[in-house]
Structure 1
Amino acid sequence: MRTVAVLHRFFIYLQCSLIGSLVDSSPLSSATHLVSITSSVGKQVVLPCRWKPRLGDMVPTACHIQWTTVADTVFEQWGSRKWQMEDFKGRVEVPEEKLRSGDCSLIIQDVQIGDAGRYESFMVVDGVRSTKTKVFLQGVKLSVFDHKSHRSQAPGEDLVLDLHTSHSVRVIFQDRNSSESSDLWMRGDENSPRLEKHPLKEQLTIKNLRRSDEGTYKVLDERGLAVSTVQLSVEDSSTALKVHQSMEKEITTDDAAKSSCSALLILSCLVMSFKFTNVL
């Protein structure tokens, strides 16, 4: 029984070693051919890829390209047949005319925060005995960032919030003197006298700003992830004018002081020169 137990433990160890070696040799665990791409929400991004450096002059009869993440297949194209993952529906493509010439780059439209991660591309080619073989082409690390900005406007002006993408579904507001946020707008809400969604553009306008509108505005997507953050200050334009006038006054006073010092220095030099002449 003891011998059987030892053999059983050895068999488990051997299995773990084999699995570990397979994981270490897989493209997902290797940094080879890894390219880093950075984008902000709502933009178009291109994940670069070329298959000729890996396949040489061998042109497949029908290019079969795959783009995957660690967990899922994002996009697959075989000849005229295409498949897109549900989260990327209508947002991803590999232009067929470029694919034949060797460019298998994946174009992602309207990129989202949730799109961030590692992507890998493969070309599926014919192997021995009519089998299919996946040839690793390119690894790409995609980083996606939200928009951040500070705005200063006067009471009575309009604040235009960019939603950046049709996937923005909610805007929350946090008063500068509060730690809690409240819903300001949800996609599908009707316009109000002070809040208006542009009929065509992804923009939300808050009309006739008040002091109470000062605070932080966050645009969120379907997953509750931040698309943008805007910190708003509401100040009278006269305040800015006073600051400007004060700065000008300080500059004028400083210049006058410098001129006075220069005049005194010149006068001192003349007196010293006169005394020196009398001595001679």
Structure 2
Amino acid sequence: MKTQHWFFVHLHCLLVGSLVDSSSLSSSLRPQSVTSRVGNQAVLPCSWKTRLGKEAPSTCHIQWATTEDTVFELRGERKWQAEAFQGRMEVPQEKLGSGDCSLIIHDVQIGDTGRYESFMVVDGVRDMKTRVFIQSVKLSVFDHKTRQSRRPGGELVLDLYTLHSMRVVFQGRNSSEWSDVWMRGDKDTERLQKDLVEEKLTIKQLKSSDDGLYKVLDEHGLAVSTVQLYVEEESTALKVDQILDRQALTDDAARSSCSALLLLSVLVTSFQILRLV
């Protein structure tokens, strides 16, 4: 009986070890996941030492590409980036020597969502250049979503987040139609004012008819942000804020409960396996 016990324990260790080894071998081939929100910065990780060893090439020649085309290239002091990313991409040269070839995308947009792959171009036989695959990264960019409550006569400050925000549209609470509120280049009015420095739009002298959804859209019509606005009297507005706070607390409690149940399930399963062994 004791011999059987040790046999099963040894077999279990071998299986776990083989799983760990295969996982480590394939980890560099699986795309890593990176998430960001519109207007923020995204860093796509890359380390050429995982594929080329510890010795740096005489001249680092890095390429980043999507499934469709090359979007960024750095060779020594020379840099190139695709038109859609102009002025928004960089690979810090001071970090290349230590193996860090991560791509930094500034002011990320919804349209930047996709899969990116990095390559190092090295010298091959007979002076032929060879592209060595390094890392695959899946980038997901999300819009901003908020809910706010204001009293009649108050102000709503809409964050545009990025210079690529071109339009703000509005849908009243009891309407299915969207109407234009603001477009880039519009002159300020008594109720609408665009900040001269920051990407913010202020709607003044709020009325009950301003209650509804506001969407900030980019040049492709994609949502940069969505704001649910409640325009209510003070007592009602306070109730709305309390409801939103309770919903947030309920969501946190639900997540904590799920985590506890998952941990309990793992412990019970482990105990049952040990009993069988």
TM range (shorter): 0.7 to 0.9
Decide which moves more: 145-154 or 119-128: 145-154
Larger Rg: 1
CA separation of 1:200/1:241 partners in 2, compared to 1, >3 Å: closer, same or farther?
A: closer
Question: Following the alignment from structure 1 to structure 2, what is the Cα–Cα distance between the partners of residues 243 and 147?
Answer: 20
Cα RMSD (Å): 1.7
State the shift of 1:55 in Å: 0.5
1:112 aligns with 2:109: yes
Report how many aligned residue pairs link the two structures: 215
> Which residues in structure 2 correspond to 1:9-158 (within 5 Å)?
32-158=29-155
> Which residues in structure 2 correspond to 1:211-250 (within 5 Å)?
211-240=208-237
State the shift of 1:177 in Å: 1.2
Deviations 1:238-279 (CA, angstroms, capped at 9, x unpaired): 4356999xxxxxxxxxxxxxxxxxxxxxxxxxxxxxxxxxxx
Deviations 1:35-93 (CA, angstroms, capped at 9, x unpaired): 00111111111000000111012321110000000001110000000000001000000
- Aligned AA (2:151): A
Q: Is 2:149–2:237's contact at 8 Å kept on the other side of the alignment?
A: no
Identity of aligned residues (%): 68
SS in structure 1 of the partner of residue 98 of structure 2: coil
Question: Following the alignment from structure 1 to structure 2, what is the Cα–Cα distance between the partners of residues 67 and 191?
Answer: 42
Normalising by structure 2, report the TM-score.
0.75
SS in structure 1 of the partner of residue 55 of structure 2: coil
Partner of 1:159: 156
State the shift of 1:195 in Å: 0.2
Deviations 1:74-126 (CA, angstroms, capped at 9, x unpaired): 10000000000001000000001111221000000001000000000000000
- Aligned AA (1:68): A
Deviations 1:151-204 (CA, angstroms, capped at 9, x unpaired): 111001100000011100000011111101011100011000000000001100
CA separation of 1:154/1:46 partners in 2, compared to 1, >3 Å: closer, same or farther?
A: same
Moved over 6 A (4+): 241-244
Give 5+ residue unaligned stretches, structure 1. Answer: 1-29, 245-280
> Which residues in structure 2 correspond to 1:153-192 (within 5 Å)?
153-192=150-189
Question: Following the alignment from structure 2 to structure 1, what is the Cα–Cα distance between the partners of residues 28 and 52?
Answer: 20
Deviations 1:210-247 (CA, angstroms, capped at 9, x unpaired): 01111110000011000000011100104356999xxx
Q: Is 2:158–2:200's contact at 8 Å kept on the other side of the alignment?
A: yes
CA separation of 1:108/1:242 partners in 2, compared to 1, >3 Å: closer, same or farther?
A: closer
Partner of 1:15: none
Question: Following the alignment from structure 1 to structure 2, what is the Cα–Cα distance between the partners of residues 152 and 240?
Answer: 6
Normalising by structure 1, report the TM-score.
0.74
Question: Following the alignment from structure 1 to structure 2, what is the Cα–Cα distance between the partners of residues 100 and 31?
Answer: 20
Partner of 1:266: none
Q: Is 2:149–2:240's contact at 8 Å kept on the other side of the alignment?
A: no
- Aligned AA (1:65): I
Question: Following the alignment from structure 1 to structure 2, what is the Cα–Cα distance between the partners of residues 242 and 159?
Answer: 19
Give 5+ residue unaligned stretches, structure 2. Answer: 1-26, 242-277
